[in-house]
């Protein structure tokens, strides 16, 4: 007689399904946001990384995004600079180095209203949760983000081998 899975096993399996759906929808959402602002998804992620992690050389930006240094990252920076999302300046301490910096005002003007709408809806939902539930959600999402980052690093390393 087959065993019925425990409610915990069912919940864990369901969590895997929910996470896959969430990640797919997050990628599609980011792509739609990018398109609404006249970008592609990779370009939006690059600007986001420059905002969250700070200015970078083209090589550093290539490493952050997983693009190949050289042609691909240069073409992306060219597009972003033409559209006003980034600036390129010479490093004051080493004039041979170029520093790419995000222009937050351009990003906010182009895609800020979309994020503001989503943030408002999300905040309305968060108001229905207890402090403990919010802390749990923060921990859960932070851990998921760290796991994803680790796996991206592993996948990038294995593709170089």
> Tokens representing 74?
């240069």
How far apart (Å, rounded) are the C-alpha atoms in residues 78 and 80? 6
Does residue 68 surpass a pLDDT of 80? no
pLDDT digits (tens, 9 = 90+) for 24-36: 999 999 999 999 9
Which backbone phi and psi does 70 adopt, to 5 degrees? 105, -125
How far apart (Å, rounded) are the C-alpha atoms in residues 12 and 7? 9
> Tokens representing 21?
């759906």
58: left (phi over 0), alpha (psi -120 to 50) or beta: alpha
What's the pTM value of the predicted model, to 2 decimals? 0.83
- The dihedral built from the CA positions of residue 84, 103, 112 and 60, taken in this order, carries a sign that is positive
pLDDT digits (tens, 9 = 90+) for 2-50: 677 899 999 999 999 999 999 999 999 999 999 999 999 999 999 999 9
Q: Are 26 and 41 in contact (CB under 8 A)?
A: no
* Three-class DSSP category at 53: helix
pLDDT digits (tens, 9 = 90+) for 103-160: 999 999 999 999 999 999 999 999 999 999 999 999 999 999 999 999 998 998 887 7
CA dihedral (19, 20, 22, 26) in degrees, to 10, reads 130
For residue 69, the model assigns a pLDDT of 66
């Amino acid at each position: 007689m087959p065993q019925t899975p425990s409610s915990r096993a069912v919940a864990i399996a369901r969590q895997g399904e929910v996470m896959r759906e969430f990640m797919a929808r997050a990628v599609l959402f980011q792509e739609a946001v990018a398109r609404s602002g006249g970008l592609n998804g990779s370009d939006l992620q690059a600007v986001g990384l420059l905002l969250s992690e700070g200015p970078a050389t083209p090589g550093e930006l290539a490493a952050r995004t997983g693009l190949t240094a050289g042609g691909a990252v240069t073409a992306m920076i060219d597009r972003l600079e033409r559209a006003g999302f980034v600036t390129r300046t010479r490093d004051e301490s080493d004039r041979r180095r170029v520093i790419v910096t995000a222009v937050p005002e351009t990003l906010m003007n182009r895609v800020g209203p979309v994020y503001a709408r989503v943030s408002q809806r999300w905040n309305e939902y968060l108001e229905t949760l207890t402090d403990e539930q919010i802390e749990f959600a923060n921990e859960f999402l932070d851990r998921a983000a760290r796991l994803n980052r680790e796996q991206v690093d592993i996948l990038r390393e294995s593709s170089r081998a």
